[in-house]
A and B are shown apart, each in its own frame.
Chain A
Amino acid sequence: MLLTFERMGALRWILVLWGVLVAAFLLLPVLFIVALSFGSSRWLQFPPPAWTLRWYQELLADPRWLDSILTSFKVAALVTVASVLLGLLAAFGLVRGRFPGREVLRAFFLTPMILPVVVLAVALYALFLRVGLNGTLAGFVIGHLILALPFSIISITGALEGFDKAIEDAAVVCGAHPFEAKLRVTLPALKLGLFGAAVFSFLVSWDEVIVAIFMASPTLQTFPVRIWGVLRQDLSPVIAAASSLLVLLTLVLMAAAALVRRGSRR
Chain B
Amino acid sequence: MTRPFLDIKGIRKTFGPVVAVEDVTLEVAKGEFLTFLGPSGSGKSTTLYAIAGFQPPTSGEVLLDGRSLLAVPSHKRNIGMVFQRYTLFPHLSVAENVAFPLRVRRRKDAEIDAKVARMLALVRLDGMGGRMPGQLSGGQQQRVALARALAYDPPVLLMDEPLSALDKKLREKIQLEIRRIHKETGVTILYVTHDQEEALRLSDRIAVFNRGRIEQTGTGRDLYENPATGFVAGFIGSSNFLPAEMERGEGDAAAVRLPDGTRLTGVRMHQRLGAGESCALMVRPERLRLETASTGGVPVRIDDVTYLGDSLHFLVQAPWRQQIGVRMPIASGIDAGLTSGTEARLVWPASAGHLFAGAS
Contacts and interface: CB of A to CB of B under 8 A. Distances in A.
B87 interface: yes
Chain B interface, DSSP helix/strand/loop, else mixed: loop
Contacts of A176: 75, 100-101, 104
A176 B74 CA distance: 9
Contacts of A167: 87-90
B78 A175 contact: yes
A13 B285 CA distance: 69
B284 interface: no
A67 to B, nearest CB: 41
A174 B148 contact: yes
B104 A175 contact: yes
A170 B145 contact: yes
B85 interface: yes
A181 B54 CA distance: 14
B100 A174 contact: yes
A121 interface: no
A172 interface: yes
Contact of A189 (B79, B91, B145): B91
A177 interface: yes
Contacts of B123: none
Contacts of A62: none
Interface in A34-85: none
Contacts of A191: 91
Interface string B67-100: 0000000111111110111011111000000001
A174 B91 contact: no
B105 A170 contact: no
Given A169-B54, A188-B91, A189-B90, A174 B85 contact: no
A253 B152 CA distance: 44
Nearest to B81: A173
Contacts, number: 66
A181 B100 CA distance: 10
A173 B158 CA distance: 10
B89 A185 contact: yes
Contact of B74 (A166, A173, A180): A173
B21 interface: no
Contacts of A166: 83-85, 87
Nearest to A169: B54
A171 interface: yes
A170 B81 contact: yes
Contacts of A172: 74-75
Nearest to A181: B75
Given A167-B87, A170-B145, A175 B81 contact: no
A110 B68 CA distance: 46
B228 interface: no
A164 interface: yes
A171 B89 contact: yes
A19 interface: no
A173 B74 CA distance: 6
B52 interface: yes
A174 B83 contact: no
Interface in B22-37: none
Nearest to B105: A175
A93 interface: no
B104 A180 contact: yes
Interface in B55-77: 74-77
Contacts of A158: none
B87 A175 contact: no
Nearest to A177: B75
A174 B90 CA distance: 15
Interface string B315-339: 0000000000000000000000000
A169 B75 contact: no
Contacts of B91: 188-189, 191
A184 B96 CA distance: 12
Contacts of A184: 100, 104
A173 B105 CA distance: 12
Contacts of A169: 52, 54, 83, 87
A77 B52 CA distance: 43
A164 B87 contact: yes
A189 B100 CA distance: 15
Given A164-B85, A164-B87, A166-B85, A171 B100 contact: yes
A189 to B, nearest CB: 6
A229 interface: no
A169 B48 CA distance: 13
A164 B79 CA distance: 21
Given A169-B87, A171-B100, A178 B75 contact: yes
Contacts of B100: 171, 174, 176, 184
Contacts of B80: 173
Interface string A166-208: 1101111111111011001100110100000000000000000
A173 B89 contact: no
Nearest to A164: B85
A170 B52 CA distance: 10
16 contacts: A167-B87, A169-B52, A170-B89, A174-B75, A174-B101, A174-B104, A175-B75, A175-B76, A175-B104, A176-B100, A176-B104, A177-B104, A178-B74, A178-B75, A180-B104, A189-B91
Given A178-B75, A188-B89, 17 more contacts: A166-B85, A167-B88, A169-B83, A170-B81, A170-B89, A172-B75, A173-B53, A173-B75, A173-B80, A173-B81, A174-B104, A174-B149, A175-B76, A177-B104, A180-B104, A185-B89, A188-B91
A-B complex: 9 closest residue pairs judged by Cβ atoms: A174-B101, A170-B87, A188-B91, A173-B81, A176-B104, A167-B87, A175-B104, A172-B75, A166-B87
